[in-house]
Amino acid sequence: MAEALWLLAVLGLLGGFDTVYFHEIRGQLPARLPGLQPELKLHAGRSFIYVAVFGTLPWIAWRGAWAIVLAALLLCEISITLADFIVEDQVRKPMGGLLPGERVTRTIMAIVYGAILSRLVPVILHWRHLPSRLAIDPAPVPMWLRLGLSALAVGTLASATRDAYAVIGFPRPLARWPWAAPATAGANRPPRNGAAE
């Protein structure tokens, strides 16, 4: 379990970088609705799953039937990610597609996720044979790592809420903040300043 949590922290940091840099700063995705609504729906759903994962695994054992719930959440995350690979290629065509650095970041994240699963699946199988309950059982990792993963859960909740807020169609100026709306629906991404990705 300890190795899975260390890898989960790496995944969380990569995901945070992807969200802040590629989605917010470079892509300004919430300002590009309705064109990016399908992608942001997937992002919000996946992020809510990560809130549960980051927020519980450092502190709680998903025992018995709860292990099946956790496995289902992880499978759902995989399905959303696969759908996202397809959807984002479609909806980002008017923006020029994904940035090369974004695609590389996603590939690294997929590799790390696979490493997490290789260490987490045996834990889930063990939990499956225990009496059903969500048991307080702090993982054998430093307290600062548990707290860091909890902080990642809070940050992920903020991101998920922002994406969901934008998709649901609540007041647009707040959903777009701090980015201005693109001039046209097919507006290109912000200029790259000649820098290579």
What's the chain look like in SS3? CHHHHHHHHHHHHHHHHHHHHHHHHHCCHHHHCCCCHHHHHHHHHHHHHHHHHHHHCCCEEEECHHHHHHHHHHHHHHHHHHHHHHHHHHHCHHHCCCCHHHHHHHHHHHHHHHHHHHHHHHHHHHHHCCCCEEEECCCCCCHHHHHHHHHHHHHHHHHHHHHHHHHHCCCHHHHHCCCCCCCCCCCCCCCCCCCCC
Residue 54: per-residue pLDDT: 96
Residue 32: per-residue pLDDT: 64
Confidence of residue 98 (pLDDT cuts 50, 70, 90): confident
Q: Where are the domains of the chain?
A: 2-176
106 contacts 18 by C-beta, under 8 angstroms: yes
Least confident of 111-115, 144-148, 160-164, 180-184: 180-184
To the nearest whole number, what is the mean pLDDT of the chain?
Answer: 84
Q: Has residue 183 got a pLDDT over 50?
A: no
Average pLDDT score over residue span 175-193: 47
Average pLDDT score over residue span 107-128: 95
pTM: 0.79
Average pLDDT score over residue span 129-150: 95
Which carries the bigger pLDDT value, residue 190 or residue 52?
52
Q: Has residue 135 got a pLDDT over 60?
A: yes
